[in-house]
């Protein structure tokens, strides 16, 4: 009796073809080292699967990384392109105009008028004052007493005020009155750090 092979059914042909394609596709990917996003399920690659410095900007599509993808305190100045930063407008500040905020400008000190025989000290900052945008007076510098200085109108306290200041290697008290008169005892007096609000 002669054996006659049975013709494969269409279902068997399709199943074998699908198996061949799936196995061939994976083998080709591994053979060439080319695996793209279609072969990777979402959420299956974690940090431990990526070596340091292996992912670069060209590998990341724009706008695909958000704040939650970056660990806290892991970005430094070298990681940020300055030209990509945008300014902050009043809308981002809750509608408060920028003019309501103090500027970070360096203070500009105006020399004080020394009185009562006081004089400047060589090698030290000349006594001066600065009035900031929030209405506070800041003093700096060193002078040799006895004597003091006079603050101009618009940079005086509303009431007589007393401030601890350094004199030689000790401390003393600087008294400033509403008319701008400031007095202290003899010696080299540093008024650095003295700050008070402008009187009404």
pLDDT score recorded for residue 200: 56
pLDDT score recorded for residue 76: 73
The residues, any chain, with a CB within 8 Å of residue 116's CB and separated by 6 or more, are 145, 146, 147, 148, 183
Cβ-contact 148, 184 below 8 angstroms: yes
- Residue 161 lies in domain: 110-197
Q: Is residue 169, in this structure, part of any structural domain at all?
A: yes
3-class secondary structure per residue, 130-148:
EECCCCEEEEECEEEEEEE
Angle at 77 (CA atoms; ends 71, 78), nearest 5 degrees: 95
pLDDT at 25 over 60: no
How far is residue 6's CA from residue 3's CA, in Å, rounded to a whole number? 9
Q: Is residue 160, in this structure, part of any structural domain at all?
A: yes
- Domain total for the chain? 1
Q: Is residue 143, in this structure, part of any structural domain at all?
A: yes
Instruction: Give the pTM.
Output: 0.49
pLDDT at 102 over 90: no
Q: pLDDT-derived band of residue 46, with 50, 70 and 90 as boundaries?
A: confident
Query: In whole numbers, what is the pLDDT of the chain averaged over residues?
Result: 79
Q: Is residue 65, in this structure, part of any structural domain at all?
A: no
pLDDT score recorded for residue 148: 93
Q: Is residue 185, in this structure, part of any structural domain at all?
A: yes
Q: How many CA within 13 A on the CB side of residue 196? A: 23
pLDDT at 36 over 80: no
Q: What is the CATH number of the domain that holds 159?
A: 2.60.40
* Average pLDDT value for residue range 25-50: 64
Instruction: Give 60-99 pLDDT, tens digit per residue.
Output: 777 677 767 777 777 777 777 777 776 666 565 667 776 6
Q: Is residue 121, in this structure, part of any structural domain at all?
A: yes
Q: Is residue 165, in this structure, part of any structural domain at all?
A: yes
Q: Is residue 150, in this structure, part of any structural domain at all?
A: yes
Instruction: Give 124-182 pLDDT, tens digit per residue.
Output: 999 999 999 889 999 999 999 888 999 999 999 999 999 999 988 899 999 999 999 99
pLDDT at 101 over 70: no
The residues, any chain, with a CB within 8 Å of residue 115's CB and separated by 6 or more, are 147, 148, 149, 150, 181
């Amino acid at each position: 009796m002669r054996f006659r092979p049975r013709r494969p059914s269409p279902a068997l042909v399709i199943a074998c073809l699908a198996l061949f394609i799936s196995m061939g596709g994976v083998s080709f990917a591994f053979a060439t080292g080319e695996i793209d996003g279609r072969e990777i399920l979402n959420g299956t690659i974690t940090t431990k699967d990526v070596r340091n410095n292996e992912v670069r900007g060209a590998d990341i599509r724009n706008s695909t990384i958000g704040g939650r993808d970056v660990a806290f305190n892991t970005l430094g100045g070298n990681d940020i392109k300055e030209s990509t930063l945008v300014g902050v407008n009043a809308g981002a500040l809750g509608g408060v105009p920028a003019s309501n905020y103090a500027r970070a400008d360096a203070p500009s000190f105006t020399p004080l008028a020394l009185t009562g025989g006081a004089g400047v000290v060589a090698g030290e900052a000349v006594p001066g004052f600065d009035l900031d945008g929030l209405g506070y007076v800041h003093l700096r510098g060193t002078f040799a007493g006895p004597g003091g200085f006079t603050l101009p109108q618009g940079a005086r306290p509303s009431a007589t005020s007393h401030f601890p200041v350094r004199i030689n290697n000790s401390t003393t008290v600087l008294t400033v009155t509403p008319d701008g008169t400031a007095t202290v005892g003899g010696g080299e007096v540093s008024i650095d750090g003295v700050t008070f609000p402008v009187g009404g």
